[in-house]
């Protein structure tokens, strides 16, 4: 399958991974892990970051056997057309579910913090319209957008770094007081924040360069995300202290809200403006992944048509799915459970089966 028209560079691949991973959960991650492992929350974040690095290597090993095929195409080669049909549907539902969860969390957060009198469906509609305009284009166009908006992350890091002096890092001591079982349990709560790297299952064949270079780019991108999340978690605990942290569900926003600069009074609104862009890049990537799977199953229909259909369905669902804590928590738990299967267990099984059956893409295949 020729992909020359939409090939991306490794430089662009780096920013695609970075922007997709940094998204909706950046605001609540420190609180979610702190709830379980308290001041050892940063260890949980570090462990899940290392787990993702291992997972990326696993995905790369599978991809190396089928360098020009996406996960939707290689499954047919590995397990046969009939079983692959059901696995494709499962992956499409998985990507669609994450896209839906991201847009619901976005609408809920903006409704609470910025526009409390605006119906959530209007916020969802605006985000969907903007993201569809980009997601309907080929991957190269999307990659250019991701590279440009990544400059906003520098603004966020500068804002946060300027507040370092206000934190007491003795709050994270003593290290390891809650034990490994608690830290591991807390780590499972952090996986949602790292989601996005599974785009490699679909995007790697569209990337230029050698296999080793692609692996290096993916590992570096996730490494930077891990360092960022690690810093945010440590900083949040150090800023509020354990006694206050347990009452702050969005610690990063509260830090920004009560911090001001000479020329910026509402720093939290500036941060939320940057956050909205990162959420948009995450959402549009999952639109792309879902539409890519559908386009693989229905080859006579253009992928952009599926983008419109998926976006419309998500918008309709936003009317019927309440954004209460209980509902959102239930959906998040389901997605967390599913992600371990679809991005770790299943690729591992496919890799083993492909090795045992001697399935490998022939050299020179396109």
Sequence-separated (6 or more) residues with CB below 8 Å from residue 203: 8, 13, 16, 139
Cβ atoms of residues 216 and 24 within 8 Å: no
Percent of the chain, pLDDT > 90? 69
pLDDT tens across 132-165, in order?
Answer: 999 999 999 999 999 999 999 888 888 888 777 7
Q: What does the block give as tokens for 278?
A: 């990162």
pLDDT of residue 268: 80
3 in the Ramachandran plot: left (φ > 0), alpha (ψ -120 to 50) or beta?
alpha
Percent of the chain, pLDDT > 70? 96
Structure confidence at residue 173 as a pLDDT band (50, 70, 90): confident
Answer whether residue 169 shows pLDDT above 60: yes
pLDDT of residue 364: 55
pLDDT of residue 24: 84
Among 174-188, 211-225, 282-296, 335-349, the minimum mean pLDDT is found in 174-188
Beta bridge partners of 207: 8
CA distance 35 to 52: 22
pLDDT of residue 3: 52
Instruction: Encode burial over 326-353: b for 16+ CB neighbours within 10 A, e otherwise.
Output: eebeebbeebeeebeebbbebbeebbee
Structure confidence at residue 366 as a pLDDT band (50, 70, 90): very low
- Domains, the chain, with CATH or none: 8-356 (1.20.1740.10)
Answer whether residue 336 shows pLDDT above 80: yes
Structure confidence at residue 168 as a pLDDT band (50, 70, 90): confident
Cβ count within 10 A of residue 157: 12
**What mean pLDDT is predicted for residues 166-194?**
87
- Output the 3-class SS for the chain: CCCHHHCECHHHHHHHHHHHHCCHHHCCHHHHHHHHHHHHHHHHHHHHHHHHHHHHHHHHHHHHHCCCCCHHHHHHHHHCHHHHHHHHHHHHHHHHHHHHHHHHHHHHHHHHHCCCCCCHHHHHHHHHHHHHHHHCCCHHHHHHHHHHHCHHHHHHHHHHHCCHHHCCHHHHCCCCCCCHHHHHHHHHHHHHHHCCHHHHHHHHHHECCCHHHHHHHHHHHHHHHHHHHHHHHHHHHHHHCHHHHCCCCCHHHHHHHCCCCCCCCCHHHHHHHHHHHHHHHHHHHHHHHHHHHHHHHCCCCCHHHHHHHHHHHHHHHHHHCCCCHHHHHHHHHHHHHHHHHHHHHHHHHHHHHHHHCCCCCCCCCC
CA distance 226 to 193: 10
Single pTM value for the model: 0.94
Structure confidence at residue 1 as a pLDDT band (50, 70, 90): very low
Among 164-178, 254-268, 302-316, 340-354, the minimum mean pLDDT is found in 254-268
pLDDT tens across 48-102, in order?
Answer: 999 999 999 999 999 999 999 999 999 999 998 999 999 999 999 999 999 999 9
Q: C-alpha distances in angstroms, 210 versus 14, 16, 216?
A: 14, 18, 10
pLDDT of residue 11: 95
pLDDT of residue 6: 77
**What mean pLDDT is predicted for residues 250-275?**
81
Answer whether residue 321 shows pLDDT above 50: yes
pLDDT mean across residues, the chain: 90
């Amino acid at each position: 399958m020729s992909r020359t028209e939409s090939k991306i560079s490794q430089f662009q691949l780096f920013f695609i991974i970075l922007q997709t991973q940094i998204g909706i959960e950046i605001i609540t991650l420190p609180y979610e892990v702190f709830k379980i492992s308290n001041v050892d929350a940063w260890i949980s974040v570090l462990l899940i970051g290392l787990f993702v690095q291992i997972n990326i290597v696993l995905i790369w090993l599978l991809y190396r056997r089928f360098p020009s095929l996406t996960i939707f195409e290689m499954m047919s080669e590995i397990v046969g057309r009939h079983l692959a049909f059901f696995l494709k549907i499962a992956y499409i539902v998985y990507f669609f579910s994450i896209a839906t969860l991201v847009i619901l969390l976005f609408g809920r957060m903006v409704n609470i913090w910025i526009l409390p009198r605006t119906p959530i469906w209007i916020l969802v509609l605006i985000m969907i319209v903007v993201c569809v305009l980009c997601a309907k284009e080929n991957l190269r166009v999307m990659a250019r957008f991701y590279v440009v908006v990544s400059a906003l992350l520098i603004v966020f890091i500068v804002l946060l770094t300027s507040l370092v002096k206000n934190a007491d890092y003795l709050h994270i001591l003593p290290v390891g007081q809650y034990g490994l079982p608690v830290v591991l349990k807390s780590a499972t709560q952090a996986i949602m924040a790292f989601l996005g790297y599974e785009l490699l299952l679909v995007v790697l064949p569209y990337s230029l360069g050698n296999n080793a270079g692609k692996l290096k780019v993916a590992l570096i991108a996730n490494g930077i995300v891990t360092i960022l999340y690690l810093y945010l978690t440590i900083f949040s605990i150090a800023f509020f202290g354990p006694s206050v942290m347990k009452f702050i569900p969005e610690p990063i926003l509260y830090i920004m809200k009560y911090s001001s600069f000479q020329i910026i009074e509402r720093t939290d609104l500036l941060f939320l403006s940057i956050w909205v862009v990162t959420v948009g890049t995450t959402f549009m990537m999952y639109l792309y992944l879902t539409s890519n799977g559908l386009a693989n199953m229905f080859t006579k229909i253009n992928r952009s048509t599926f983008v419109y259909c998926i976006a419309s369905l998500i918008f309709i669902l936003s009317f019927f799915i309440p954004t209460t804590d209980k509902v959102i928590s239930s959906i998040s738990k389901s997605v967390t459970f599913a992600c371990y299967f679809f991005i770790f267990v299943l690729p591992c099984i496919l890799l083993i089966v492909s090795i045992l059956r001697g399935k490998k893409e022939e050299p020179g295949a396109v």
